[in-house]
Amino acid sequence: MLTIAGQHFSSRLFSGTGKFASSQVMLDALHASGTELVTLAMKRIDLEQGTDNLIQPLTAMGVKLLPNTSGARNAQEAIFAAQLAREMLHTHWIKLEIHPDPKYLMPDPIETLKAAETLVEKGFVVMPYVHADPVLCRRLEEVGCAAVMPLASPIGSNQGLLTKTFLKMIIEQAKVPVVVDAGIGSPSDATAAMEMGADAVLVNTAIAASQQPVTIAQCFRQAVITGRKTYHAGLAQVSNQASHTSPLTGFLNELC
């Protein structure tokens, strides 16, 4: 069972709540996914229009809420956002994400490390979203992050495991859970990440923006279970040469 900061998760599929066509579709898809951890963002409310109350239905579903610091452009803003999240959602857990670049949403490694250090000191359970950089992941682990969340490819791009080689290094080295986040585009990507030994995957766009989010959520659920099971069972070795699976008795030659 996956454990992060003392909390156990029987599902290794984490999900975001963004980009769904409606709150109901989101809730149905999350339910179908079997996820136990979902991410949320924060926003200054529009007092004229109000805002959907997401927290109550999600809490009623029994999922753990993981607020993110999306929108933060530096460590200072991320720390501020984490404090807001703690008051709003009554949780010390924070998905630390700092991406000043609006085009590719690449996370800023230096600001992320700075913020992580401070947030850990302040008692937060920090789960940083980072590029698939093994050195950075190790540094984040050393300052006390509860997990690392390296990206597979740019956020929302559905390009899959473009960083595969580096994800493997991170998984090999990490002593904290590795959650592959961002860019996972299909259930087969999720399976591949889990087969590599990732502890969990976080999927949002691939479910929310699909034509049938509930069905795709079910597919991801199965994909993650399959990938984890495969990882435990151990795949056969890859070889550059052919190796026959049937006996070569040469009996056809004998018939001639």
Partner 1 sequence: MITVYVNERPLEVNKSSNLQQVLALSVQSLELKLDNIAAVHNQHVVPRSKWSTNLCHENDRIEIFSAVAGG
Near partner 1 in 6-25, by CB under 8 A = 16-20, 23
Per CB under 8 A, 57 contacts partner 1: no
204 binds partner 1 (CB under 8 A): yes
Q: Measured between alpha carbons, how far is 18 from 21 in angstroms, rounded to an integer?
A: 9
**CB neighbourhood size of 2 (10 A):** 18
Active-site residue 229, yes or no? no
Find all residues with CB under 8 Å of 111, minimum gap 6, and list them: 73, 74, 75, 78, 98, 100
- Measure the CA–CA gap between 162 and 27, rounded to whole angstroms: 30
Q: Segment near partner 1 (CB under 8 A), from 36-44, 109-117, 138-146, 224-232? A: 36-44
Minimum gap (Å) between residue 50 Cβ and partner 1: 4
Indicate which residue of 64, 95, 103, 175 is catalytic.
95
State the helix-helix crossing angle for 134-142 and 109-121, rounded to 10 degrees: 20
> Which of 95, 203, 190, 186 is closest to 149 using CA atoms?
95
Shortest spacing between CB 77 and partner 1, in angstroms: 12
Instruction: Answer yes or no whether residue 31 interacts with partner 1 by CB under 8 A.
Output: no
User: Would you give the DSSP letter of residue 151?
Assistant: B
Amino acid (one-letter) located at 65: L
Q: Which is nearer to partner 1, 155 or 161 (CB)?
A: 155
The only residue of 88, 110, 135, 172 in contact with partner 1, by rule CB under 8 A = 88
Would you say 45 or 255 has its CB closer to partner 1? Answer: 45
As measured in angstroms, the least distance from the Cβ of 24 to partner 1 is 12
| C-alpha neighbours within 13 Å on the C-beta side of residue 124 | 32
* Cβ–Cβ under 8 Å, residues 227 and 190: yes
Is position 138 an interface residue for partner 1 (rule: CB under 8 A)? no
Distance CA 197, CA 43 (A): 35
Which of 13, 26, 146, 171 contacts partner 1 by CB under 8 A?
A: 26
Burial of 6 (0-12, 13-18, 19+ CB in 10 A): exposed
Does 159 interact with partner 1 (rule: CB under 8 A)? no
Tokens 């991170």 correspond to: 170
Q: Rule CB under 8 A: is residue 87 a binding residue for partner 1?
A: yes
Look at residues 165, 213, 149, 166 and name the one whose alpha carbon lies nearest to residue 187: 213
Determine the interface stretch with partner 1 among 49-57, 166-174, 190-198, 215-223 (rule: CB under 8 A).
49-57
Does residue 62 bind partner 1 (CB under 8 A)?
A: no
Q: Is 52 in the site for partner 1 (CB under 8 A)?
A: yes
Q: Does 46 bind partner 1 (CB under 8 A)?
A: yes
Q: Is 240 in the site for partner 1 (CB under 8 A)?
A: no
Tell me which residues touch partner 1 (CB under 8 A). Answer: 16-20, 23, 26, 39-47, 50-56, 65, 67-68, 70, 80, 83-85, 87-89, 155-156, 182, 202, 204-205
- Catalytic positions: 95
